[in-house]
Copies of this chain bind each other. A is one copy, B any other.
Amino acid sequence: MTLNSREAILAAARLRVQAHGYGGLSFRDLAAEVGIKAPSIFHHFANKAELGAAVARRYREDAAAALAALAEEGPDARASLARYPATFRGALENGNRLCLASVMAAELADLPPPVQAEVRDFAAMNIAWLAGRIAAAGLAAPEGAGPRARAVFAAVAGAQLLARGGGGVAAFDAVVDSYRAAGLIPS
């Protein structure tokens, strides 16, 4: 149960941050969900900042793996780009949550520096993946792939934010469809 506890804490903390933010993550509530007491969390993580950084790091690693899998599914860069928004859809379906990095970006100034760094790394990783696929798909000139990648990332994150405010997955899908219609994302 030792390794499982650490993993259980990480998983539960991720969901709680996605729903309530880093500031809304309480050790007592988190521990209760895992089935231990709050101080026992300190056996696995030195403090809240370290837990937050670990959650964000794991989130980035999982996303990187998912994107790598998406790219390896087929050689068609346009097709994998078209499926990129779907990686953000899941959070909305799962209790109207947001991308971890979006929630944390909203409270960025109050985040411990190590957590801030993880948030930036997540964005950089997504943008790098998008830029690679955009370049491979010939969707933009080589020097324009980076800016375009940032635009796609921002637009999809914004769609998720709007959908949480009202409309849910249906609103998210409609906004993404508009992006496709405008040519921001390939169909």
A109 CA to B20 CA, complexed, in Å:
7
Check if B165 sits within 8 Å of A150, measured CB to CB: no
Closest to A155 in B: B155
A157 CA to B163 CA, complexed, in Å:
12
A120 CA to B123 CA, complexed, in Å:
27
Chain A: residues with Cβ within 8 Å of the partner, total of 44
Check if A123 sits within 8 Å of B20, measured CB to CB: no
Instruction: Tell me, yes or no, whether A162 is within 8 Å of chain B by CB.
Output: yes
Check if B177 sits within 8 Å of A150, measured CB to CB: no
A148 CA to B103 CA, complexed, in Å:
25
A contact face: mostly helix, strand, loop, or mixed: helix
A155 CA to B180 CA, complexed, in Å:
13
Closest to A119 in B: B165
Closest to A171 in B: B150
For A21, A107, A175, A178, the residue with the greatest tally of chain B CB atoms inside 10 Å of its CB is A178
Check if A150 sits within 8 Å of B178, measured CB to CB: yes
Within 8 A of B (CB), among A1-43: 19-21, 23-24
Instruction: Tell me, yes or no, whether A159 is within 8 Å of chain B by CB.
Output: yes
A102 CA to B98 CA, complexed, in Å:
12
Minimum Cβ distance to chain B for residue A158 (Å): 2
Residues of A within 8 A of B (CB): 19-21, 23-24, 96, 98, 101-103, 105-110, 119-120, 123, 147-148, 150-151, 153-159, 161-162, 164-166, 171, 174-175, 177-179, 182-184
